[in-house]
């Protein structure tokens, strides 16, 4: 039997970093995000609608994706499957880029004011936003503002006219003539993201470029989008640009959500004047390090943005989570974008060598942890995929190909989060972190929820300390098994946890032991 007196509580304290010290009590983040369940959709791969005409040269839906191939997913396909998302428990959608582009991922923007015709055009986005909003779902868009594409009008104008182009200051030109195609490496003549000629970097110091991007941002918020996920925003190293971006977006919609793709400590951008949150990759890394551990497919990790993930024991996991919880003020932490994978990472199940217990444990943690959880499309049914582009396969709508038990488990974890406000807005206190077990309490007022996760491949019996979290004699109900345990001597005695599983207990206020 394990016993522990380990206890530490997160209630929103953090260390202020950087040169911009603000009144952190005044930080405002969109209230709806803390209650949201996000679902990330890669539009070309989620669902096709017969109502959207398609070009003929498409890859087979079920074939492994290639770097340049299109499968023909569209926005009306998403509309036609909103009931699937609602049934799962989803309340918000994050869409990878949707604007006209020559790339299947659409991070090479051709026209920022036109939804790609293969996705159904602007009218399809109108239908998606209206349909989602009627179901109480929000939709945030992916903003690619650091770089455009070779086919972007202003860049093409420079390529055609050289230094005579009125748009010559829209990009960082090094030499003429530009060589957007087939130039020796590094000889294309302009700055580009990661030195890729297909992604010319916009010159955001040019006033006309700033105004253009701010107008794009407000245009789609006025159209009805509920926020922006910002692609590689640290590449635009300009606080004034992002402060004005926030100001203009919030002027249109005070509840618009602004989340940046930053993989590391983002304190500089999360002081209340730029972004609301970032994609919380440090938590995803910690989940992989602990719940997957030594089974992690490290060669795949090395080929992704993760690069390296260390195996964590229970104490190492709780220490890392404490570190992440301490990075930002509470209003920011409560709206962090908590993901377990994305279009930029191998699938969680693939990294876990197909062991679904890893994803189940990680999902239970994700749904009981501060911040807004996000499911990468298809993870809930056991989709697999190695590094990009394999992690962007077509969603299999044949239910025979689903892991339906896994989907039910994800659905159950989402319902748990939505049932208990303490899981969304409560303090977090560690109760135990040793020998493959982590246990913590989430508390909001009188509501107390205790979560115990057993990463071992054997059952364990615990004597779990809850003094200071649950009053003596209070009955604790296992919400999934229906059994009751009482608190005696500040502990829950003989708590049995099966291997590779979690237990959730809720304090029944006023109940006799």
Is there a single domain that holds both residue 80 and residue 160?
A: no
Residue 51 lies in a domain: yes
CATH of the domain at 168: 3.90.400.10
Residue 116 lies in a domain: yes
Is there a single domain that holds both residue 331 and residue 375?
A: yes
pLDDT at 509 over 80: no
Using the 8-state DSSP alphabet, how is residue 490 labeled?
T
Segment 362-369 shows an average pLDDT of: 98
Is there a single domain that holds both residue 386 and residue 444?
A: no
Is there a single domain that holds both residue 446 and residue 470?
A: yes
Is there a single domain that holds both residue 268 and residue 341?
A: yes
Average pLDDT, the chain: 94
Identify which of 279, 274, 272, 141 has the alpha carbon closest to the alpha carbon of residue 218. Answer: 141
Give 23's pLDDT tier (boundaries 50, 70, 90).
Answer: low
Angle between helices 121-134 and 207-223 (to 10 degrees): 50
Is there a single domain that holds both residue 277 and residue 303?
A: yes
pLDDT at 26: 80
Is there a single domain that holds both residue 274 and residue 360?
A: yes
Q: Which domain holds residue 446?
A: 423-508
Which residues are annotated as catalytic?
231, 261
Q: How many helices (H) and strands (E) are present in the chain, helices listed first?
A: 15, 20
Give 291's pLDDT tier (boundaries 50, 70, 90).
Answer: very high
Residue 428 lies in a domain: yes
Q: What's the CA gap between 511 and 474, in Å, rounded?
A: 6
CATH of the domain at 427: 2.60.40.1180
Q: What's the CA gap between 94 and 508, in Å, rounded?
A: 36
pLDDT at 209 over 60: yes
Last-in-domain residue among 160, 181, 203? 203
pLDDT in tens, 476-490: 999 999 899 999 999
Residue 27 lies in a domain: no
Last-in-domain residue among 159, 181, 203? 203
Spatial contact of 423 and 365, defined as CB atoms under 8 Å apart = no
Residue 274 lies in a domain: yes
Q: What's the CA gap between 89 and 247, in Å, rounded?
A: 32
Segment 455-469 shows an average pLDDT of: 95
Is there a single domain that holds both residue 140 and residue 229?
A: yes
Query: What is the tally of structural domains in the chain?
Result: 3
Neighbours of 44 (CB within 10 A): 26
**What is the maximum span of the chain, computed from C-alpha positions, in angstroms?**
83
Is there a single domain that holds both residue 434 and residue 414?
A: no
pLDDT in tens, 233-287: 999 999 999 999 999 999 999 999 999 999 999 999 999 999 999 999 999 999 9
Distance linking the first and last C-alpha atoms of the chain: 22
Give 8's pLDDT tier (boundaries 50, 70, 90).
Answer: low
CB burial class (10 A; 0-12, 13-18, 19+) of residue 464? buried
Is there a single domain that holds both residue 284 and residue 354?
A: yes
CB burial class (10 A; 0-12, 13-18, 19+) of residue 171? buried
Rounded to a whole number of angstroms, the CA Rg of the chain reads 24
Is there a single domain that holds both residue 69 and residue 124?
A: yes
Neighbours of 402 (CB within 10 A): 16
Residue 124 lies in a domain: yes
Segment 312-341 shows an average pLDDT of: 97
Residue 9 lies in a domain: no
Identify which of 361, 306, 190, 272 has the alpha carbon closest to the alpha carbon of residue 23. Answer: 272
Segment 56-81 shows an average pLDDT of: 97
pLDDT in tens, 44-53: 999 999 999 9
CATH of the domain at 349: 3.20.20.80
Q: Is 509 helix (H, G, I), strand (E, B) or coil?
A: coil
Residue 381 lies in a domain: yes
pLDDT at 204 over 60: yes
pLDDT at 513: 39
Angle between helices 239-252 and 207-223 (to 10 degrees): 30
The CB-side HSE value for 168 (13 A sphere, CA atoms) comes to 11
Is there a single domain that holds both residue 409 and residue 442?
A: no
Q: Is pLDDT larger for residue 165 or for residue 14?
A: 165
pLDDT in tens, 381-414: 999 999 999 999 999 999 999 999 999 999 999 9
pLDDT in tens, 119-130: 999 999 999 999
Last-in-domain residue among 355, 389, 421? 421
């Amino acid at each position: 039997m394990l016993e522990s007196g380990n206890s530490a509580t997160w209630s929103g304290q953090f260390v202020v970093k950087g040169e911009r010290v603000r009144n952190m009590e005044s930080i405002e983040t969109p209230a709806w995000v803390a209650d949201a369940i996000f679902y990330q959709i890669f539009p070309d791969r989620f669902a096709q609608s017969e109502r959207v005409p398609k070009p003929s040269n498409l890859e087979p839906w079920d074939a492994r994706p290639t770097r340049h191939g299109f499968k023909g997913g569209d926005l009306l396909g998403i509309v036609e499957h909103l009931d699937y998302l609602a049934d799962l428990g989803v309340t918000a959608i994050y869409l990878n880029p949707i604007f006209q582009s020559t790339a299947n991922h659409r991070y090479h923007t051709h026209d920022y004011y036109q939804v790609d015709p293969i996705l159904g055009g602007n009218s399809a986005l109108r239908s998606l936003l209206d349909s989602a909003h009627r179901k109480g779902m929000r939709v945030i868009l992916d903003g690619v503002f650091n770089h455009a594409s070779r086919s972007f009008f202003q860049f093409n104008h420079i390529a055609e006219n050289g230094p005579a182009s009125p748009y010559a200051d829209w990009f960082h030109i090094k030499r003429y003539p530009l060589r957007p195609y087939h130039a020796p490496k590094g000889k294309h003549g302009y700055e580009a993201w990661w030195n890729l000629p297909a992604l010319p970097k916009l010159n955001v110091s040019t006033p006309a470029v700033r105004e253009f991007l701010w107008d794009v941002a407000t245009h789609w918020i006025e159209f009805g989008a509920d926020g922006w996920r910002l692609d590689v925003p640290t590449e635009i190293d300009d606080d004034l640009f992002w402060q004005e971006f926030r100001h203009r977006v919030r002027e249109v919609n005070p509840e618009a959500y602004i989340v940046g793709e930053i993989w590391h400590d983002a304190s500089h951008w999360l002081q209340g004047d730029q972004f609301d949150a970032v994609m919380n990759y440090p938590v995803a890394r910690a989940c992989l390090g602990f719940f997957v551990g030594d089974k992690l497919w490290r060669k795949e990790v090395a080929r992704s943005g993760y690069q390296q993930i260390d195996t964590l024991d229970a104490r190492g996991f709780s220490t890392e989570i404490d570190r992440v919880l301490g990075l930002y003020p509470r209003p920011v932490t409560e709206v962090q974008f908590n993901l377990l994978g994305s279009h930029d990472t191998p699938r969680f199940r693939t990294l876990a060598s197909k062991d679904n217990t890893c994803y189940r444990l990680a999902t239970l943690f994700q749904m009981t942890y501060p911040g807004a959880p996000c499911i990468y499309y298809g993870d809930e049914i056991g989709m697999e995929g190695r590094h990009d582009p394999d992690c962007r396969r077509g969603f299999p709508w044949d239910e025979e190909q689903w892991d339906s038990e896994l989907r039910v488990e994800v659905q159950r974890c989402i319902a748990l989060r939505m049932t208990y406000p303490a899981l969304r807005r409560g303090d977090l206190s560690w109760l135990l972190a040793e020998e493959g077990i982590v246990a913590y309490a989430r508390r909001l007022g009188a509501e107390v929820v205790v979560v115990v996760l057993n990463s071992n491949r054997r059952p364990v019996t615990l004597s779990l300390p809850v003094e200071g979290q649950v009053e003596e004699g209070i009955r604790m109900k296992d919400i999934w098994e229906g059994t009751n345990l009482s608190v005696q001597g500040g502990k829950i005695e003989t708590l049995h946890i099966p291997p590779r599983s979690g237990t959730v207990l809720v304090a029944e206020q006023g109940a006799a032991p």
